[in-house]
Structure 1
């Protein structure tokens, strides 16, 4: 967990910094008042001591960190790692959640369905593609390498985030990636026809800027994605998918899961969408992703959630890491964040009310030092109990609803 404390903890620290000297001043004032008015030194000492004992600044300091750490511990046991102090606080107020598609909502595993050679002089296009993808961490690169019997060794390889990869070999330049790869000649319309079905991704190989081969890949879907998305909707979250896929494949995915989708996005496009949505709503924005392409969006989001199967950069950019496959644990995360936020504010309200009433009674001389000490200990114990009581309230069955989690449909958010 990152050392940066949540904002609510910073606030309580500032309040405590003022509260302690204020309590000392109040105790001295009570002592002086009784001494001057009643001319009774023992009574004045008892009055000042009672005021000092009844005050409970520790309750203010315990409320946020204890609840946060207990929730982080319970979530860790369910494969959800909290890395940022603000993660639970922001998670309790997030209502707009953006999700990457490949590797997040889908399994991230591809298989090559077809290889089409456009230039008949080209030998073994799969070996060339595998050579270009040698250092790739993208699932498509994994699928190409797995399907190839051999990989060509290139003189130079340059990744192009969000688009593909470039390379050079024996004086020729090669590129492998999306059909709209910049600087490369587009495919003829009739060439796209065999691989333009809804679930097929088309990857093109260029040599000297001319298309020479294309590969059709099919992505495996996660069986639990639909149920997980429905649970998030019931929690009142507005869902929106951000993907670098072409509109053809993404539209089919959107229709299947009833989700608004923004397509053909570059890494910075995803980040900018989050910036724009935050500016419009003035609310924290969440993002779930797994790849290098998602790192800018994960860093920009108020709540960045990285999937453990993703790249190291994505995990380093996230406030939360999911150690289990799929997005099913997200419902536990948001329920826990909301419950933790409620507990923190309940504890703070209790602490302020206790100190206000207790200090008033102590200054009036109604309480003795013994009762003040007992009350102070009792107040701290109540805060500890409220912060550490069982987490079963938010670890519920995904179909169980309460008045706080009304059924809602995801609204169509514009990018």
Structure 2
């Protein structure tokens, strides 16, 4: 609890909310969130295992321990394959001898059975595909934690997407400047940018960054002062400029006209942050700041749909912001204002509805949900705890890489199954021929080698896998 001071707190690691929260005396703050500016004196109400961060770690541990191991088909078969082949070879030897053939003929048939049934192709089916598949994945910036992950990708039908840092940039960005009737856009942006350049607030940094990008060098501000939780004041171009909340301008006798009021209301209805600018006794403009969608996210969502996956947007941010982002991406299902435990509950609720869920996230607040999901995909630009909790990690911050991860995992699994099908089919067809004396050991050896080469060749086809990013 804050006992003295005021500041803006970046709580995105907990809530996913991109806009820093203004806090003051009596407000509750959470350990491990970031003080974005200002001085706070706080009293701890929970330490150690009672903190939110410790509870999130506990959620991750419980979710990971609840995951079942998926055994590979080849491992299950290997326990019975060799005894069965040995039995068939002995039966072949006994059958030929009982039929009155010479020991040489009987032994030749039995040896042919042993050679043709050599489980080389069966043994190579899984590891060669895994080796090539994971190697190609690494080239594309996708890390696969283990072979059991491939099994999880097969039945996934729902992909839950974290908002902040996953589908959005996770940074506040200047998206619009609206000038009033008696000012021009460049002047509003230049004066506001010059003043905000002296502030450490995340929204101020976004405005200053946007102003420099559009206008170049900014003039120096004199007499800068910050009004806690409200905005900043100072002198730019010889004018006393005020930038901040509408209430700050109103206190100084600066009121928004109809055009600026409508622009502010429109921005806020879309979940964006509207900053007012005024000087010389009047409001002069509105600056609109928001966490923007990554350019590639809409295509990634479309690709997920093509894979038969239903996208769900899951965020700790407020419902208005979540709805705006979902609308931009074409996502119909939205779960907003979700704390870390709520994210786990949302994933589990989808699972109880019969969904097989993939979770894509990047933050500490996503870690438990990543572990609870049937398939966890972490953005490599995110936190270590999220990466450790995930099954797949995509190194770059492009959501399309998550599409690649699922596509390549599915294709690798399909290759493994094709290899196993060939290995089993080859043995089922060739063993009877060898037992009946239709294959001598020399031809049996050649056939066995050919089957292994076919398995390896089929696995090498994974090297031709093409990224959707390369197609763009």
- The CA distance in 2 between the partners of 1:288 and 1:39, in whole Å, is 66
Indicate yes or no: 2:352 matched with 1:279: yes
Structure having the higher Rg: 2
From 338, 352, 359, the equivalent of 1:265 is 338
* Rounded Cα–Cα distance in structure 2 between residues aligned with 1:368 and 1:111: 74
CA 1:195–1:396: 2 relative to 1, 3 Å: closer
Structure 2 counterpart of 1:380: 452
Cα separation, 1, equivalents of 2:269 and 2:318: 12
- 3-state SS of the aligned residue for 2:160? strand
Q: Indicate the residue corresponding to 1:90 in structure 2.
A: 152
Cα displacement (A) at 1:111: 5.7
1:319 and 2:382 are equivalent in the alignment: no
The alignment status of 1:351 with 2:423, answered yes or no, reads yes
Matched with 1:66 is 128
The structure with more helix, counted as a fraction of residues: 2
Q: Distance in 2 between matches of 1:240 and 1:68?
A: 30
Q: Which whole-Å CA distance do the structure 1 matches of 2:377 and 2:469 have between them?
A: 22
Match of 1:7 in 2: 70
Shift of the alpha carbon at 1:61? Answer: 2.3
Query: How many angstroms does 1:345 deviate by?
Result: 1.6
User: C-alpha separation between the residues in 2 aligned to 1:383 and 1:101?
Assistant: 42
Distance, in Å, in 2 between the alignment partners of 1:254 and 1:62 is 45
Match of 1:366 in 2: 438
2:309 matched to which residue of 1? Answer: 237
Deviates more, 1:192-201 or 1:48-57: 192-201
Counterpart CA distance in 2 for 1:399 and 1:230 is 14
Q: Which runs of 5+ in 2 are unaligned?
A: 1-66, 176-199, 210-223, 226-263, 275-287
Structure 1 runs not aligned, ≥5 long: 114-128, 131-138, 151-191, 203-215, 401-415
Structure 1 length-normalised TM: 0.69
Out of 267, 270, 282, the residue aligned to residue 198 of structure 1 is 270
> 1:336, 1:101 → 2: CA distance?
24
User: Contact (CA 8 Å) 1:80, 1:329: kept in 2 or not?
Assistant: yes
Which residue of the partner structure matches residue 407 of structure 2? Answer: 335
Q: Over aligned residue pairs, what C-alpha RMSD do you find?
A: 3.8
- Give, in whole Å, the separation in 1 of the partners of 2:438 and 2:423: 20
Distance in structure 1 (CA, Å) of the matches to 2:163 and 2:425: 47
Flag as ranges the 4+ runs of structure 1 deviating above 6 A: 192-195, 397-400
Question: Is contact 1:102-1:108 (8 Å) kept?
Answer: yes
Distance 1:395 1:307 in 2: 16
Q: 1:201 to 1:68 in 2, by over 3 A?
A: farther
Match of residue 297 from structure 2: 225
The CA deviation string for residues 327-372 of structure 1, in whole angstroms up to 9 with x for no partner, is 0212222221222222122111111111011111111111111111
Match in the other structure for 2:113: 51
Tell me if structure 2 keeps the 8 A contact 1:307–1:322.
Answer: yes
Q: Which secondary structure state, in structure 1, belongs to the residue aligned with residue 378 of structure 2?
A: strand
Q: What is the total number of aligned residue pairs between the two structures?
A: 325
How do 1:151-170 residues align onto structure 2 when only pairs under 5 Å count?
Answer: none
Q: Deviations over 1:205-244 (max 9, x none)?
A: xxxxxxxxxxx96313312211222222222211011000
1:46–1:368 Cα contact (<8 Å) kept: yes
Output one character per residue of 1:127-148: Cα deviation in whole Å (capped at 9) or x when no partner.
xx98xxxxxxxx99x98xx9xx
Distance 1:62 1:384 in 2: 7
Q: TM-score, normalised by structure 2?
A: 0.61
> Given the superposition, is the C-alpha separation of residues 320 and 230 from structure 1 closer, same or farther in structure 2, using an over 3 Å criterion?
same
Alpha-carbon offset, residue 392 of structure 1: 2.8
Asked if 1:291 is matched to 2:363, the reply is yes
What per-residue deviation string (whole Å, max 9, x for no partner) do you get for residues 243-279 of structure 1? 0011111111122222121100111211122222222
TM-fit CA distance, 1:394: 4.7
